[in-house]
Amino acid sequence: MADNTAPVWFITGCSTGFGLELARLVLGRGWRAVVTARDKARLADLVALAPERALAVTLDVTKQAEIDAAVKDALDRFGRIDVLVNNAGYGYQASIEEGDENEIRQQFDANVFGLFAMTRAVLPAMREQRSGHVLNITSQAGFIGYPGSGYYAATKHAVEGFSDALAVEGKPLGIKVTCVEPGPFRTDWAGRSLRQTPNRIEAYAETAGARLKGTSDISGKQPGDPVRAGEAMIRATEMAEAPRHLVLGKPAFEGITQRLRERLTQIENLRDVSLSADFPDA
């Protein structure tokens, strides 16, 4: 018999990677989970782990009708949603100049507008419950725009800004917000969830071109463990004070902290110039 007091997790993008491992951990704890993928058949093994506690639904986050249907199915089955994990999305690499317009817009539809729509669909239930936790899977690219990843970084920067506002709006309603910012993890992201526009302009061969090649070379050798990442996400939801940022992995931790220190130093060094923009009597 299912435990009707167990928390309900709604996780997008569960067929591979972080979503798959996190769903396994959630179900392994005896909790309930709504697991999603564009092809529901790929979730059969997950549901088999706990048929009474797992609900598989078809979901493409770029399609509003599927979002609405998935949330309705979740509430009909479990009556609530305690944790929303916005994990669905993918990478796209190109130099800025060589970026393909159609690829750029498709990535924003999935990584940004789909995440926005998914969150809006779940918020009414959390608001009514006066509780909930939204985990947005961003990236170290939410802080650092690497060569060749400018458009991907732009999607993650957008989610970070969105999350800042949501955290303030949601706090009085009992809704918590955490951005999960992983570095390189040993998932099949590079093989399955990454698109690239080939580097054709020689001027970018040593910047964007080198990074595009390096991303493929490191696949399968990344230091991050997706299972340990899932455990860290669960711990974040159990903290009395939810972290706004959860950086995962040594490369991300070192890269982000260094970049933030550099940014703060640069801003402070220009203090006089910044303040000179005000009216003298302000």
Catalytic residue positions, numbered: 152
In 3D space, the residue among 101, 116, 130, 12 whose CA is nearest the CA of residue 60 turns out to be 12
Element (H, E) at 14: none
Please give the sequence-ordered ranges of beta strands (E in DSSP) within 18-116, or none if there are none: 32-37, 54-58, 83-86, 91-93
Which residues, in sequence order, are CB contacts of 239 under 8 Å at separation 6+? none
Compute the distance between CA of residue 200 and CA of residue 66 in angstroms, rounded to an integer. Answer: 38
Region of 91 (left: φ > 0; alpha: ψ -120 to 50; beta: rest) is beta
Contact 186, 220 (CB under 8 A): yes
In 3D space, the residue among 233, 108, 109 whose CA is nearest the CA of residue 182 turns out to be 233
Strand partners, 224: 185
